[in-house]
Structure 1
Amino acid sequence: MCGRFAMTLPQDAMAQLFEATPANDLPQGANYNVCPTNAVAVATSEEGNRRVQPMRWGFLPHWYKAENGGPLLINARAETIAEKPAFKSAARARRCLIPATGFYEWTKDANGARDPWYIYRSDGAPLVFAGVWQDWERDGLSHRTCAIVTCSANAPMSKVHHRMPVVLEAADWPLWLGEAGHGAARLMVPAADETLRFHRVDRAVNSNRAAGPELIERLA
């Protein structure tokens, strides 16, 4: 799964990365502890025109009567995304790219305490997760919302967690965004074993109020 991540790319760098037009209201500044319900930068494509825009991380199906009207859907499982009522329409027509500098997962020590790990690309490039999005409106409130698609972990990642985000390479972005025809389902597989690295970080990140670049520093 993916329940917390870091995003440190400047807005202009994100626009260049995706060759997209940035919205004026993107999240400002680096965020080393992006949490569910935070606004995140998301790349979409409509008729071949790419845009980077803010979305609420936490997918809201149209039938939710309130923002807390059901489970918080931050992830969508690749194995069931095409059948689940919450996601199946978005999986066909509203796919997106969610950039990240890295993400966090947790293991437990012998006493049950949660030890955080920071996971990032081994080549130093930004991670780009497969995502889906949905507009939601109720009683005067409206949100554009998203979820990260997850799959079974590859061999290295399985030492930390049995699930991982679907990581897309740049050559696959047009297919995921619907710019290159059909067949996006074949992209929902684990990243190659050499794609990611990870290291232990301080338990400070266990708090959703923690902030700062020290959160991703390797634990000595």
Structure 2
Amino acid sequence: MCGRMAVTLPPDAMAQLFAAAPDNDLPTAENYNVCPTNTVHVVTSDDGARRLQGMRWGFIPTWYKKPNDGPLLINARSETIAEKPAFRAAARARRGLIVATGFYEWTKDADGGRDPWYITRSDGAPIAFASVWQDWTDAQGAAIRTCAIVTTAANAAMQAIHHRQPVIVEQRDWPLWLGEAGKGAARLMEAGPEDQLRWHRVDRAVNSNRASGPELIAPV
């Protein structure tokens, strides 16, 4: 599961890291509380030419008449992505990497309160979430590019917080996930090693999708 994230890396730095050409309309401000339906930064590849572009986080299947015609699809389960009508074509041909600094997950205390945790890579590097994307066109012909994060069963360490986790693609595997290195990307759809991620408790202020600012990721 991944339902909220933080992005602090400037687009120019993302573009350099992924050797991708950046679009001109990318979000440039730091965002410590990226929510579903917000625009996220996604790396794609077309015949080896990488592009960093903005997409709506919330995959819209082609048969939706309106963006809210059905469930908000922010995650795609790795176990069923190749079979689900919403995702199967994208899993074969439209894979991308969503770039983030960290993401949030929640546990419940004894009283049922939701305690947020901020999760980052242990090595401090930016996160590259495995994703799939889809163009959706409304009744007026306006196109929206949308995406979802691929998730999988959590590894033993992460299970202390949640039973699911996003698939994180290592730099050596970016070409394979993006379709630049032939077939076999399905093998990447699993949890990373137990020491891949680290986390700390943060303030419950982030429970509100209106909250903002760097204090949201400060340890408490």
TM norm structure 1: 0.99
Q: 2:94: which partner in 1?
A: 94
CA distance in 2, matches of 1:196, 1:52: 24
Q: Describe the SS at the equivalent of 1:174.
A: helix
Gaps of 5+ in 2: none
Q: What's the counterpart of residue 167 of structure 1? A: 168
Whole-angstrom distance in 1 between the partners of 2:143 and 2:115: 36
- Counterpart code for 2:211: A
Alignment-derived partner of residue 211 in structure 1? 212
**Alignment partner of 1:185: what SS?**
helix
Query: Alpha-carbon deviations, 1:13-72, whole Å to 9, x = none?
Result: 000111000000001210000000000110000010000000000000000000101100
Which residue number corresponds to residue 147 of structure 1? 148
The sequence identity of aligned pairs, in percent, is 71
Give the secondary structure class of the aligned counterpart of 2:45: strand
Partner of residue 198, structure 1: 199
C-alpha separation in 1, matches of 2:159 and 2:27: 32
Tell me by how many angstroms 1:170 deviates: 0.3
Amino acid at match of 2:171: A
Measured after TM superposition, the shift of residue 128 of structure 1 is 0.6
Report the counterpart of residue 126 of structure 2 in structure 1.
126
* Counterpart-to-counterpart distance in 1, 2:58 and 2:182: 27
- Matched to 1:160, the amino acid is I
Whole-Å Cα distance in 2 between the matches of residues 68 and 161 of structure 1? 27
Match of 1:157 in 2: 158
Looking at structure 1, the residues matched to 127 and 197 of structure 2 have their Cα atoms a distance apart, in angstroms, of: 9
Partner of 1:34: 34
Structure 2 match to 1:114: 114
What 5-or-longer segments of structure 1 have no aligned partner? none
Query: Hey, what does 2:178 align to over in structure 1?
Result: 177
Q: Displacement of 1:142 after TM fit?
A: 2.1
Q: Which runs of 4+ in 1 moved over 3 A?
A: none
CA root-mean-square deviation: 0.5
Alignment size in residue pairs: 219
Distance 1:156 1:211 in 2: 28
- Deviation sequence 1:119-172 (CA, Å, 0-9, x none): 001111001100000000011232100000000001111000000000110000
CA distance in 2 between counterparts of 1:209 and 1:67 reads 21
